[in-house]
Structure 1
């Protein structure tokens, strides 16, 4: 794979009004019964509480993307455990055109140690309970994904 060029994951030039969906990876980071939320510093959903994550780069597995994005946004080393679900995320502009279109692969991960330090496009980060996450997040899918991951952890 060393000879394979990789796309720069921070190249945002064609994410707005794309000609195809982008693959993104959301990371549901757990420490005990708490989940990590970040407040987004870039569109879409700028300023909202969300899961860490970002675009998958060419030549990178979904789990590698989860590890890289968690580290870039929070400084935390995570251990991915499973793919929880896949979510379609589309944002329309005022004229009804697709401004952003992501296919989000939601990955559960554990973070055994360290405290989050915001970096990259995260404005703030905090550990919260599942119920606190439900109160903080504005996008219903974020709450659904967190609760789904929590129920799978409880069942396992």
Structure 2
């Protein structure tokens, strides 16, 4: 892997008291629930990437509204050396249409009640609850 951080965009969609989560197929966080998202392509804004990745992974269409925050995701090996470095951009999106269907890099995609996510009973990626709460204050 190159020693340049990778830029990713994640779509936070909240609709009718539910939040859309996807179960990752690949690392980082394979098997964990998190927000749909992926790499930002050259010449693409993180807002556009979040909407594109959301649709590619779940079939759901949403309009990107605003940047929420950024997270550095650094993984290290047993010697403490950084093996992966992602800068993840959280994007608040408003639901347009679609029923979640797992595609692309996810094995499942579902709406979850906000209270269920807050209860932290699902195997979730780090900061899912924090990012959901931030989106709730902005949408």
- State the TM-score, normalized to the length of structure 2: 0.91
Unaligned stretches of 5+ residues in structure 2? none
Q: Deviations over 1:5-58 (max 9, x none)?
A: xxxxxxxxx4xxx30111110110122221100000000110000100001010
Corresponding residue of 1:147 = 133
Alignment match of 2:17 (pick from 26, 30, 33): 33
Find runs of 4+ consecutive structure 1 residues off by over 3 angstroms: 137-140
Higher percent of residues as strand: 2
Q: How far 1:97 moved relative to its partner?
A: 1.7
Conserved? CA contact 1:56–1:65, under 8 Å: yes
Tell me the SS of whatever aligns to 2:48. Answer: helix
Larger radius of gyration: 1
Conserved? CA contact 1:130–1:147, under 8 Å: no
Corresponding residue of 1:80 = 64
